[in-house]
A = this chain, B = another copy of it.
Amino acid sequence: MHWILIAYDITTDDKSGRRRLRRVAKVCERYGRRVQKSLFECQGDDKTLQKLRFELLDEIDERYDSLRIYHMGKEIENKMESFGVDETIRFDDPLVF
């Protein structure tokens, strides 16, 4: 098991871009925790992370979008500093009506 960071910039000038953005976020949500709008921390074994990479490449349009994956090793807490709003908490919040 190791940690990866997924960061993306999806070009949302048109409807198809906005759809890609939603779909990319949905893929990431299934694999990890959202820590900022376009930044996820995901933990998995090689096979899982390979599947995640494959699914993401299937969603983005490489002509317009950018996807970056950073390999963080077995631990992430000691390599990360968080300031301000903790999006982990915000995005994990259940919706309350």
User: A interface vs B, CB < 8 Å?
Assistant: 5, 7-9, 35-39, 53, 56-57, 60-72, 79-87
Contacts and interface: CB of A to CB of B under 8 A. Distances in A.
B82 A66 contact: yes
B85 A68 contact: no
Contacts of A57: 83
A76 to B, nearest CB: 8
Q: Count identical subunits in the complex.
A: 2
B70 A83 contact: no
A87 B36 contact: no
Contacts of A64: 84-85
A61 B85 CA distance: 9
B80 A66 contact: no
